Amino acid sequence: MTEPTDTDTLPLHEDRLWRDGLWTARVIKNEEDDGWAVEMTRQGDPEPALVGPWTMGRDKKNPKPLDAAAFSTLVKTASEVIRRHEQQLHATLNKHVTVTARDDRRVRVSLAIVPDEDNPSATLSAHDDADDTELARVPVSPAFRLTAASAAAWIESDYARPR
């Protein structure tokens, strides 16, 4: 993330550039056709969270000016895009399955991956589904595939570290 300067945080309300709070809307020429696009960038983020088509003005050549109502809608949409992306990333990095062990106890097995360009890691853990007591925790490869079968095999091995 780039550090914001004082001028990056001041409100700005222009026809093609609108900044208020954490967001900046910028109307740009659409590279794919003769129209216009708007990009929404969250302060400190290197890339826009949202890029979408923007309406032409009455002269059919220039873009419609940004205004408070449009900016508010764009902020809500861009925030939702980021929220969905974060939810998807969380779901990708944190998996859970619940299996029944030999003793008919329900065990919730979780895989938590910590992405890191230099040293990614992962942890496999088991919890009693009834009272949430931790039964085991071991480091595993971030490439470990958590399935009901791999969870059951881990439990059957008395929680020996999977290879």
pLDDT in tens, 54-66: 999 888 889 999 9
Q: Can you give the residue range of the structural domain that contains 26?
A: 6-92
Instruction: Read off the tokens for 15.
Output: 């026809």
Whether 162 is in a domain gets the answer no
- Local structure of residue 73 (DSSP, 8 states): H
Of residues 3 and 85, more confidently modeled = 85
**Total domains, the chain:** 2
99-130: pLDDT as tens digits: 998 889 999 999 999 988 899 999 999 999 99
With CA atoms as reference, report the closest residue to 128 among 149, 148, 103, 150: 103
Same domain, residue pair 83 and 108: no
What number is the average pLDDT over the span 149-162? Answer: 95
Whether residue 25 has pLDDT greater than 90: yes
Q: In sequence order, which residues have a C-beta less than 8 Å from that of residue 92 and are 6 or more positions away? A: 113
Taking phi first (over 0 means left), then psi (-120 to 50 degrees means alpha), and beta for anything else, what does residue 72 get?
alpha
Same domain, 40 and 118: no
Does residue 34 lie in a domain region? Answer: yes
Contacts 24+ apart (CB under 8 A), 18-23: 18/66, 18/71, 20/71, 21/75, 23/71, 23/74, 23/75, 23/78
Is the same domain home to 17 and 68?
A: yes
Residue at which a domain ends, from 62, 92, 122: 92
Residue in this structure with the two tokens 């032409």, named with its chain if needed: 56
- Domain match, 18 and 71 both: yes
Q: Are residues 88 and 111 in the same domain?
A: no
pLDDT tens, residue by residue, 81-100: 999 999 999 998 999 999 99
- pLDDT(12) > 70: yes
Q: How high is the pLDDT of residue 94?
A: 95
Global pTM reads 0.69
pLDDT by residue (tens digit) across 26-63?
A: 999 987 777 899 999 999 999 999 999 999 988 888 99
pLDDT band at 142 (very low <50, low <70, confident <90, very high): very high
* Inside any domain, residue 114: yes
Together in a domain, 30 and 105: no
**161 in any annotated domain:** no
Same domain, 105 and 87: no
